[in-house]
Amino acid sequence: MIPRLLHQIWVGHLKPPIELMATWQLKNPDWVYHLWTNDKDCGGANGPGGPWKNQAQIDAMPELCGKADLMRYEILERWGGVYVDADSRCVKALDDRFLTPTCWAAYENEVYAPGYIANGTLGSEAGGALMKDMVKACAGARVTEMPAWKCVGPCLLTIVAAKHPELKIFEARTFYGRHWSGKPAPGDAVPYAEQFWGSTNRGLYK
């Protein structure tokens, strides 16, 4: 099962969206919460974790969102749990449906980004095959030549996930009620979060 560990990342020196981040702890008080920052160790408050496998890639990646992309896969590979972006608001407590798959994600938007798997909210068992493959794929990513969303973000996840039938993919509406362009997600899935696409929309949220 996926452990009740809730991970978020905030790197760089800009002020984090504390109000949004706090909603995940408030709505999920029985989960162990950990905020990962600029620490160059994949252990942090969880204990010894060793250096990041892709530390050179993290250092070379010019986009902060890309650094966070690289980190999230290693965190989930090492510790397992659920990763959620800092620029999202929890509107409903996570329940057992997010604990039983070996790994899960959600579509970005079935209409406006068909087939793309978002990486803003991810769940995985520790040592899961998908996260291991993502960490390996990121090691060879052209982080200084391609935008983050393409070389280490949703595009890469979508490609690697094609070889992992064990991945459960939820409807976009579950976590991404609106696409980054503002277009609504289709369907009637129960929403658990609102995503504000901070890195795309200049960090604005309301």
What domains are defined for the chain?
Answer: 5-195 (3.90.550.20)
pLDDT in tens, 94-134: 999 999 999 999 999 999 999 999 999 999 999 999 999 99
202 pLDDT higher than 60: no
SS3 (DSSP) at 117: strand
Q: What percent of the chain has pLDDT over 70?
A: 91
- Tell me which of 38 and 112 has the higher pLDDT: 112
And the tokens for 102? Answer: 């070996």
Whole-prediction pTM: 0.92
Say whether pLDDT at 203 is over 70: no
For residue 204, pLDDT over 50 is answered with: no
Partners of 106 in beta bridges? 118, 170
State yes or no: pLDDT of 205 exceeds 70.
Answer: no
Beta bridge partners of 107: 117
Provide the residue type at 42 as one letter: C
The closest alpha carbon to 177, from 160, 197, 206, 158, belongs to 197
Whether the per-residue pLDDT at 198 is higher than 90: the answer is no
